[in-house]
Amino acid sequence: MCSQQLYPFFSTLLLGLSLRLSTAIVLPFTEYLDSAQAVSVSWGFDNNGGPITFELTVNTSGWIGFGFSPNGGMAGSDMIIGGIFPNGTQYFTDRHATGNTEPLVDNKQDYTLLSWAGNGNSTTLRFKRELQTCDSDDLPITDSPIFVIFAYGLDDVIKFHESRQGGKSINLLKYTPKLQATLDKYFDFKAENFTVPAKATFYYCMVLKGPSFSEKNHVIRIEPLIQAGNEDVVHHMVLYACPVGFTTVMNGSCYSNTSVPFYKCMTVVAAWAVGGGVINFPSNAGISFGTSEDPVYYRLEMHYNNPTLTSGRVDNSGLRFYHTNVLRQYDIGTLQAGIRVDSFFVIPPGASSFKAYGLCNTSGFASLLPESSLEINVFGNLLHTHLAGRAVRVGHFRGGKQIGFLGENNNYDFNLQDVNYLGDIVPVKVGDEILVECTYNTENRDKLTLTGLGTTNEMCLAFLLYYPRRSISICQSALNEASLLSSLGAPNVTFAFQSLISKIWNKTDIDDFQTLLQQTPQTVSVFNFSLGNNNQVRMLPKLQPKYVTVCREMPYTTPPASNVGHVFQAITSWILLMPLLTFSM
């Protein structure tokens, strides 16, 4: 292939020294994108909606790829490919992927290379782009999480990268810096030589006694311990606190036998799901252990996803909790909001975008909290649906008006779930409302989808991380049964369910049913597992769309046609940049 044909593969071609790093903008945030810490990205942005600048450093002297994906996979990704040749020549291009094939060069080049450096062992590229580029081949960067992906080679011949690829979900515009300190004190909650059943889905629970300390400690970091070779079956892990007086150590199937009281331990302490990484807490807060007010017994819930029905897999996965006796200002709590899993809620088949809502009204906190101050400060979230989920938004309302969001993921993937940090600490006051909206797609289903624990059932949950810790564990809602039955003209739930399951659904029916559910009152339940619960009947507030940054184009100048041919002579083959970034479970 001649150089004229290859020329469009690179949008810029500059010759010069191997060290050309600009210091015009401070990049306050840094993340390692891989567990080996061979790939790091730093970034900073104009808070008024201006361009975002990245500095990518990779431990290689070869080519590097970096970009964004709607769901962690290749299709629909927006990326750059660049590097530095030994003679100081750099190459850099803006591309997009339509599938697991060669990424295509964008007609409009929206990334600007600012500087580059190479020392023979590592390569650093600094570049910028607008948050919104007005280019259909690029993904917008918003204050919702986005999957940041990478790949690299060992030389400048761009070819199949083997295991040198990966990525993670990062909220670039609302980000909490990660803990950098070295920690050596920890305790574990984990499975002990558990044989995973040959079942597609299995929930295994253990009630264990927590660690004993002579003084209060704060957990400031949680690390998933996934047994090597079992990455494809360990889907999520949740640690729950048991109430005072619960002292029974036990293990078994979590929810198949109601005579086993696992359900009594329902206060979420920590959660990890597939696609997630290490959880570091803000510098002023940690999870409390070791005081008389802390739980003594805990329930570890393991969700095993085994669609191939493999037998004989033994697992010792779990969670590691790093702690310190150097106490922080606040204790961390987790509030579970959304739709009650045990409620009557159905999603019609054939729906392209069906929305479900769970409401929390915090005015119910007052009667169940012994604390004098009831305000909480939300700093992060873990959003959760099952296979049909496509988006989750968490709206925040005060005085009947929406004042912001406590979470948003418009590219939700069941297999890529992680804790997302808010850039700002958001105070939630008594009387505020929290509305969790989940969007589902059931176009590939011909039967009703019900709420439930199975992966083919559905959930709509938001685990909100906050401080200071309060005694409230759950604030969720369900459709008010009396109102729903009246609207459906049904004498009881069984009759209503049978009429819905036998219905032949079309788009008009789906839209009408969506409207009916949005207009049905909600029974909001607030739980304190020591003091009880209260219920209120409330109407859903209206969730508004999030503000979108005004689209602005960056200046683009066609690069000169000289000095191109020799660059492309070195690029002799292309197999695939990122064949699999869907983090198979």
Number of H helices, E strands in the chain: 5, 39
Residue labelled with tokens 């993670």 = 168
Q: Which of 111, 152, 203, 466 is catalytic?
A: 203
Q: What is the DSSP string of 49-70?
A: T--EEEEEEES-SS-EEEEEES
Q: C-alpha 72: how far from its chain's center? A: 11
Give the residue among 449, 424, 353, 438 at the shortest CA–CA distance from 392: 438
- Helix (H), strand (E) at residue 569: helix 565-569
- Buried (b) or exposed (e) across 171-189, using 16+ Cβ within 10 A? bbbbbbebbeeeeeeebeb
Residue labelled with tokens 């939630």 = 428
Question: Angle of helix 481-488 relative to helix 507-519, nearest 10 degrees?
Answer: 140
> What is the C-alpha to C-alpha distance for residues 485 and 505, in angstroms, rounded to an integer?
19
Q: Which of 218, 323, 384, 396 is catalytic?
A: 384
203 is catalytic: yes
Q: DSSP state, 61?
A: S
Phi, psi (deg, nearest 5) at residue 73: -95, -175
386 is catalytic: no
SS3 514: helix
> What is the C-alpha to C-alpha distance for residues 162 and 188, in angstroms, rounded to an integer?
33
Judging by beta carbons within 10 Å of its beta carbon (0-12, 13-18, 19+), is residue 145 exposed, middle or buried?
buried
Please state whether beta strands 330-331 and 19-20 pair in parallel, antiparallel, or not at all (unpaired). unpaired
C-beta of residue 379 within 8 angstroms of C-beta of residue 282: yes
Q: How many CB atoms lie within 10 A of CB 557?
A: 9
Query: Which residues carry out catalysis?
Result: 203, 384
